[in-house]
Structure 1
């Protein structure tokens, strides 16, 4: 295959669809015989994933690598920021924690020159192995106050010599102003890299926008590569937690109602992606005690700040609703930080999460947790509740949970025991992705006492189908031949 120059998808704002479109092009290039790799220099997200060699990257880049058909690697996301508080984030560099930084410390220190060298090195390594490198920007490319500290958007595009495509979200409105303003604020050498505009999330008859498309090309001087209709039938994991606000579903009288507690620092909400697609289930995110109390199953999800979130759910009345539901024999489970909260106590002797050294847990499981300085990042194979079918998941946590009365939930492939099983209706685990396994989901739903027929479901095949549907959707509505022409060296 001939060598292609890198391609980069940037945005007029956050949440315009950059991650999904990048994943779609990773699959398109794979289908066309190329060997693509995703790359995002810096990602800010509480959704992360463990690489095969035991490091941590943003979940979006792991999804994009899956779409490309290759194992994920830290070079695909060399800098990951995981917010701990409103003012502070953990810096993960090349997959390993590199300390907590305030926003001012991170953005002002040395204008990020050292970090820029690190991300350029990661990109250069990918460039030697893959063709093409499919790059994703972050947020908006026209933040003038951040331009000289930029390690993710146009400064990175210039280093790569990438063909850049600007994505805008027509569903939120104002695309003429946002596209024109974004391009007008770019210096000439950066604007010269922009080869096309992609209008995303269009609702209605696209033919009615033909004059709008022409107007946009006239005022910007940049061709519109295509208009992507809003889709509802393609299931690709979302990157940003902003989508959770749209997932407050009403209680269902015909399905099993599952409440995921909407924590202030909720992480890895992709743990519930498969459950959301299960026709037996009505899954919703909520921070309302009454909604939690009415659910058949309550899930305490992962958290980037277990202690702060534990304090928050106590203050809001959620903790009381969970413990009261437990006494009524409702199913309550916890994953990672949620597992820690379900225990007797959480201690933070090193101040990893702030100034609270120790806090009592919900007392549902007889485990105590001590947060440590070392982060566990590991893909895992395991057997759930001694069942024969092998399962897969991954660990990302800073803490160890122990009990005087061990009762493991899972047996890892190396023979180690993991999690705590109080009974079939109450357990906790550190394993993200545990609910991607049908043996776990079917057991969990059957414990409700409601008649459920186990689904024969292969999640890997399902995801492959979604990537192919996404690629088909993009091919039908974008000028792919023009993209390939722009990538010719």
Structure 2
């Protein structure tokens, strides 16, 4: 096959970022790229146009390629849930929920087959594959049945570019150690190295570059400086602390509950670019404080995270905050937990059939968990009673529960006229299944302007959700500026002279 694979020395080394930038750069240079990741382990999802669910990174990479995402770009998505189990999303549809051991025993051969079929499906379109690996290719306890790194490079017969994060320290050991632990035939596939997240002048790393090339015999294709504020979402959960840790206190304090089974935290990322707003993650009751607004995000295990809220004392904090007139937004699982009670008749959420739990009681609704899963894209409008203006919004829903409201005003009116979610009459408490509602600049600005007005701060409308296509162009330009394109081109065209159209 025609293509290249981006692997990393560790998780969060920058594989998704580089693969996405490469998708756009290859598109600009006349290739016809298509993204591929055989198996993704993530609770950050993307909903395709036909309502299928894949890893968010591959959805964004498809957009960078100018393509509609399809399930074959990420045929297997594993979504970690409670008790060491994961939901298996197979070609975009929910298949099962099993433990890691059971998955390896039961699904390995089936997984090899569906990955092979997906690769051949994408190859039929005569496109250039940009394949993303996962974690490290030398997890020795997993190598006998791995489905994400060198096994895939072999199946697709493509060269590998190894990415290493210099920001974490230990770069030389991670690169050399990775190469030493590869089998000879695996190591022979590694044709280049990219040093990622470099701070300072890359020229100061010239001696390190020469040492790596002399020690390994593999060219260092790029020393990529760290690129902040590129406005594209992070894929790896390890990047959560990195993206939010430097966020100092600002005039508006938005607290976000850091749930144990947090999912789709990309819902929160637009707040990072608000000049007067800081995000503060809360894990304990002692950290709650007196925020200007509270967000309860999505979760892969609603009932387990509901128990966490109660056991930690955070539920009492949330209820007292609401009684004092606090501004609260519940997103997906957060929406469910704000209701009166939740029931799991067949154990699809909690693993315990018949389980019933009280919610926060802040929204007049109850949630029932079923086996059927909702995965749809949504467009609609937020009615004027919520923020004072009727605002168009769009996003996606991914959830198994159905929430039934007691004749309450909806948060959103969909394009078909149906209501979604809940908004209190005064608009201070909202609940919605719509992921990425805060990516709407107009809605987010109006929601924050209510807080600004109450605090006597200047009102303004932010445009932080820039045109995504410009963001793709920005990261492609960043990669091209620092990539030895001629050497890279030589690698991908070796024995594949018909790559460029």
What is the match of residue 288 of structure 2? 292
**Alignment match of 1:321 (pick from 304, 317, 324):** 317
Matched, 1:175 2:177: no
What is the match of residue 409 of structure 1? 411
What is the match of residue 399 of structure 2? 397
**Alignment match of 2:96 (pick from 94, 99, 104):** 99
What is the match of residue 372 of structure 1? 370
**Conserved in 1, the CA contact under 8 Å of 2:391 and 2:443?**
no
Q: Write out aligned runs for 1:264-303 (5 A).
A: 264-303=260-299
User: What's the offset of the Cα at 1:413?
Assistant: 1.1
User: What's the offset of the Cα at 1:192?
Assistant: 2.0
Matched residues in 2 for 1:442 and 1:422: separation?
Answer: 19
Matched residues in 1 for 2:181 and 2:351: separation?
Answer: 39
Q: Write out aligned runs for 1:83-162 (5 A).
A: 83-109=80-106, 112-129=108-125, 131-162=127-158
**Conserved in 2, the CA contact under 8 Å of 1:36 and 1:130?**
no
Matched, 1:486 2:491: yes
Matched residues in 1 for 2:141 and 2:13: separation?
Answer: 21
What is the match of residue 200 of structure 1? 196
SS at match of 2:318: helix
User: What's the offset of the Cα at 1:460?
Assistant: 5.0
User: What's the offset of the Cα at 1:354?
Assistant: 2.2
Q: TM-score, normalised by structure 2?
A: 0.92
What is the match of residue 433 of structure 2? 430
Matched residues in 2 for 1:99 and 1:196: separation?
Answer: 38
State the Cα RMSD in Å.
Answer: 1.8
Matched residues in 1 for 2:66 and 2:309: separation?
Answer: 40
What is the match of residue 16 of structure 1? 13
Matched residues in 1 for 2:434 and 2:458: separation?
Answer: 25
What is the match of residue 45 of structure 1? 42
Matched residues in 1 for 2:136 and 2:489: separation?
Answer: 25
What is the match of residue 468 of structure 1? 473
Matched residues in 1 for 2:43 and 2:207: separation?
Answer: 40
What is the match of residue 256 of structure 2? 260
Aligned residues: 483
Matched residues in 2 for 1:223 and 1:96: separation?
Answer: 41
Q: Deviations over 1:6-53 (max 9, x none)?
A: 111001111100000100101101211222111100000010111110
Matched residues in 1 for 2:304 and 2:458: separation?
Answer: 37
What is the match of residue 421 of structure 1? 423
**Alignment match of 1:211 (pick from 207, 215, 224):** 207
User: What's the offset of the Cα at 1:250?
Assistant: 6.9
Matched residues in 2 for 1:144 and 1:362: separation?
Answer: 45
Matched residues in 1 for 2:414 and 2:286: separation?
Answer: 37
What is the match of residue 33 of structure 2? 36
**Inter-CA distance 130–259: structure 2 relative to 1 (3 Å threshold):** farther
Matched residues in 2 for 1:29 and 1:263: separation?
Answer: 38
**Inter-CA distance 145–251: structure 2 relative to 1 (3 Å threshold):** closer
User: What's the offset of the Cα at 1:216?
Assistant: 1.1
What is the match of residue 442 of structure 1? 445
User: What's the offset of the Cα at 1:248?
Assistant: 4.7
Matched residues in 1 for 2:98 and 2:448: separation?
Answer: 42
Matched residues in 1 for 2:458 and 2:302: separation?
Answer: 33
Q: Write out aligned runs for 1:208-247 (5 A).
A: 208-246=204-242, 247=244
**Alignment match of 2:331 (pick from 335, 352, 360):** 335
Poorly superposed stretches of 4+, deviation over 6 Å = none
Q: Deviations over 1:221-265 (max 9, x none)?
A: 21111211122242321112222234256773x522111110000
User: What's the offset of the Cα at 1:406?
Assistant: 2.8
**Conserved in 1, the CA contact under 8 Å of 2:53 and 2:375?**
yes
What is the match of residue 75 of structure 1? 72
**Conserved in 1, the CA contact under 8 Å of 2:247 and 2:279?**
no
Which is worse superposed, 401-410 or 263-272?
401-410
Matched residues in 1 for 2:71 and 2:123: separation?
Answer: 14
Q: Deviations over 1:337-364 (max 9, x none)?
A: 0000000011111111222711100000
Q: TM-score, normalised by structure 1?
A: 0.95
Which is worse superposed, 310-319 or 228-237?
228-237
Matched residues in 1 for 2:198 and 2:463: separation?
Answer: 32
**Conserved in 1, the CA contact under 8 Å of 2:11 and 2:238?**
no
Matched residues in 1 for 2:342 and 2:185: separation?
Answer: 52
**Inter-CA distance 103–259: structure 2 relative to 1 (3 Å threshold):** same
Which is worse superposed, 430-439 or 299-308?
430-439
User: What's the offset of the Cα at 1:204?
Assistant: 2.4
User: What's the offset of the Cα at 1:83?
Assistant: 0.5
**Conserved in 2, the CA contact under 8 Å of 1:251 and 1:257?**
no
**Conserved in 2, the CA contact under 8 Å of 1:290 and 1:321?**
no
**Conserved in 2, the CA contact under 8 Å of 1:280 and 1:452?**
no
What is the match of residue 499 of structure 2? none
User: What's the offset of the Cα at 1:393?
Assistant: 0.7
Matched residues in 1 for 2:112 and 2:482: separation?
Answer: 35
